[in-house]
């Protein structure tokens, strides 16, 4: 079974989400426990997204340590800003799942 983590920032986003969004995130978490290949790769195999209505859930995976970490959840409008931020700070996020 894989381990699924959340960043501190993501916890705030999760807490502010509505019930349907939380249910979606929890469902993806359960899927990731079984299979890290869930979602669409974004530029790199370790960086993925899963779509929910007009929002995207962004997370990183490490197949060797069998870990994933939720990083962001935002609207399509914010997509490029979020992707750029995650790639710029990838070392900080990846150290949590190495």
**88 phi/psi in degrees, rounded to 5:** -60, -35
CATH code of the domain in which 30 resides? 3.30.2310.20
CB 63 within 8 A of CB 36: yes
Taking 90 as the threshold, does the pLDDT of residue 62 lie above it? yes
**Given this model, what pLDDT does residue 98 score?**
87
What digits encode the pLDDT tens for the residues 8-42?
999 999 999 999 999 999 999 999 999 999 999 99
The H or E element containing residue 78 is none
Structural domain count, the chain: 1
Q: Alpha carbon of 38 to those of 8, 30, 77, 89: distances in Å? A: 22, 10, 23, 22
Which 3 state secondary structure label does DSSP give 71?
strand
Over residues 56-60, mean pLDDT: 98
In angstroms, the CA 58 to CA 86 distance is 9
**18 phi/psi in degrees, rounded to 5:** -80, 175
Domain that holds residue 30: 3-94
The H or E element containing residue 7 is none
**Given this model, what pLDDT does residue 34 score?**
97
């Amino acid at each position: 079974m894989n381990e699924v983590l959340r960043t501190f920032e993501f916890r705030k986003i999760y807490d502010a989400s509505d019930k349907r969004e939380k249910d979606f995130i929890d469902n993806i978490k359960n899927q990731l426990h079984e299979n890290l290949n869930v979602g669409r790769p974004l530029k790199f195999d370790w960086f993925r997204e899963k779509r929910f209505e007009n929002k995207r859930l962004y997370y990183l995976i490490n197949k060797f340590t069998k870990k994933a970490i939720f990083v962001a959840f935002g609207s399509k409008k914010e997509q490029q800003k979020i992707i750029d931020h995650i790639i710029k700070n990838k070392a900080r996020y990846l150290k949590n799942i190495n």
